[in-house]
Amino acid sequence: MRNHFEGQPPLEDPHRPQYHFLPPANWMNDPNGLIQWKNQFHLFYQYNPYGAFHGSIHWGHAVSTDLVHWRHLPVALAPTPDGPDKDGCWSGCAIDHNGVPTIFYTGVSPQVQCTATSSDDLLTWQKRLQPVIAAPPPDIREHAGGDLRDPFVWRQDGLWYMLLTSKIEGGGGLVLLYRSADTINWEYLHPLISGDVNQRDPFWTGTIWECPNLIDFGDKQVILVSLQGTPNTFLYVCYFTGEFRQESFTTHSRHILVPTNIFYAPQVMRLDDGRVILFSWILEDRTARSALQAGWSGMMSLPLECSLLEAGKLGLAPVRELQSLRKNHSRFVNLQPNGSFLLLQGQALEILARFEPAPGSAFGLKVRCSPDGQEQTLIICRENQVIIDSERSSLNTDVNRRITSLPVEIEGRINLHIFLDHSILEVFVNDQSYLVSRIYPSRPDSLGIGVFAEGSVNIPQLDVWVLDSIWE
């Protein structure tokens, strides 16, 4: 197998992030097997060591002591020729099974659920030769088209439970529930949640579901699923809030987690200190050819802290450990932009800005601006929406440009907390809601950061930090 440290993309690649996790080269997609083990955080991920395209999926592996700085470790799982995972080791999770690190993942093809254990603190893995779930349950076998994957396992009331995702052909997505006393013998119980059949429903939940997660918030539970729709392919992440009781789930409400199709297949882990941390795969938003040329594709979101807000929605906020990356600091006070102006330059920055707008004003920040404004990306607040407008982000035609928007209440004040890292822009609104976009400016001088307003806005304080790299 080719070592993934070969073929490093050139360091001067202007689009490669420096404080987001990604492998040294090649393709990555979903986070897998997130686990805190002996005071270290382990991040596994879907990885192709042979190039910047999805294929021959392995589990890459990295470790961190603070969720922010990562060290690459050798590939953890590779397909075994003639094994049940010969065509790929697809997504899954990690648990502590009576002191033994244990992972569950999907072997292809056909899609079966496999397990492996480690006796050297997660470095190497011994696979169980036979899958623990070798086929879809009889009641959905004919309708699932072979799709059954992405085990999510947790312990409750002295038993192990597993969620898997699937679909009903012509129906919609499915989350299936299994139970086990020993993690080897799994009993299928029933579908836990199923999707919509009506493709005209404005909240149509797609043709197939993937990567289920259950988050336990005590008296409420949240189930996350990643949705895909064909033929009008879309990807997004949806969550159901409700109650998991007596092996059934009662849905109270359902929501889209992040309104974009470049944030997909997130996974959560509960830390020993009680926080729920989420990482998500952030897709490229440029042609497959550009990614192949760059030699890398995909990255992880920042580590996000997940909470259940009073309104019953999931909140996403940057973890406090990110503050350790802060270097040079600039502070601007009492800015009152009338029109627009640039403040400074940078491409690996954290920006924290408080706005106090008059009713009806449109205002915000702009990043990656060329001096003549030919390239620029806007973060606009207007009419109770926060919008990332990347329509003018790049002159390169191999790059997608889009409008991404999030509804928010702007009642006299709003905080924007922005993380810009070369080709990724993440925006937290009031440190609760999250928006993300990919931008690939083509001009080396597209580095300007500024503010703008139409109408009247006061910015009592705007802080900017240059952020350090997460690599040693």
Binding footprint of ligand DQQ on the chain (CB under 6 A): 29-30, 46, 57, 90-91, 106, 149-150, 210-211, 264-265
Beta strands in 298-443 (DSSP E): 299-300, 304-308, 314-318, 326-335, 339-345, 348-357, 362-369, 377-382, 385-389, 403-407, 414-421, 424-429, 433-438
CA–CA dist 326, 350 (Å, integer): 8
Nearer to ligand DQQ, 62 or 467 (CB): 62
Instruction: Name the pairing type of β-strands 276-282 and 304-308.
Output: antiparallel
Say what the alpha-carbon torsion angle 166, 169, 170, 171 is, to the nearest 10 degrees. -30
Minimum CB separation from ligand DQQ for residue 100, in Å?
23
Q: How far is the CB of 447 from ligand DQQ (least distance, A)?
A: 33
Name the token pair of 94: 């990690």
Question: Which regions of 38-98 does DSSP assign to beta strands (E)?
Answer: 40-48, 58-64, 71-77, 89-97
Annotation marks residue 30 as catalytic: yes
Exactly one of 13, 30, 87, 150 is catalytic; which is it? 30
In this structure, what is the dihedral angle of CA atoms 191, 254, 265, 82, given to the nearest 10 degrees?
Answer: 10
d(CA 340, CA 451): 6
Looking at beta carbons only, is 91 or 213 nearer to ligand DQQ? 91
CA 224 to CA 208: how far, in whole Å?
14
CB of 393 to ligand DQQ, least distance (A): 25
Nearer to ligand DQQ, 281 or 355 (CB): 281
Nearer to ligand DQQ, 233 or 461 (CB): 233
Nearest distance in Å: CB 213, ligand DQQ: 12
User: Judged by CB, which is closer to ligand DQQ: 237, or 308?
Assistant: 237
Closest CA to 312 of 249, 220, 215: 220
Active centre residues (catalytic): 30
